[in-house]
Amino acid sequence: MSEARLILLLKIAIGIGLFLLVLGYSLLYWFDLPEKLGVTGMIISAACIAFGLIFSLPTKMYLTFLLVKREQEQRPDNHSKK
């Protein structure tokens, strides 16, 4: 898999994660799902938030690592002339 395709997939995973975070938050506070469904509503909202975190946080760290690595490879090394 090429690096460009991997970065695209990671960006899609971040988007899915952010969507799930917003969905879980909106189910909790705007749609009052826990009041309507009780414990089941709380579990559904918490699951959306948990999966949103699972999708978004690790991919952000890996994507940042890839972008920093690519930037260091493209930039000439000025520190070796000391």
Half-sphere exposure of 31 (CA within 13 A, CB side): 14
In the block, which residue shows the tokens 């909106």?
26
| pTM attached to this predicted model | 0.72
Instruction: Copy the structure tokens of residue 78.
Output: 């000025």
Name the nearest CA neighbour of 61 among 13, 23, 20.
Answer: 13
Domain chopping of the chain, boundaries: 3-75
- Distance in angstroms (rounded) separating the CA atoms of residues 55 and 50: 9
pLDDT tens-digit profile of 2-37?
878 887 888 898 899 999 999 999 999 999 888 989
Segment 34-75, tens digit of pLDDT:
898 999 999 999 999 999 999 888 777 887 888 888 888 888
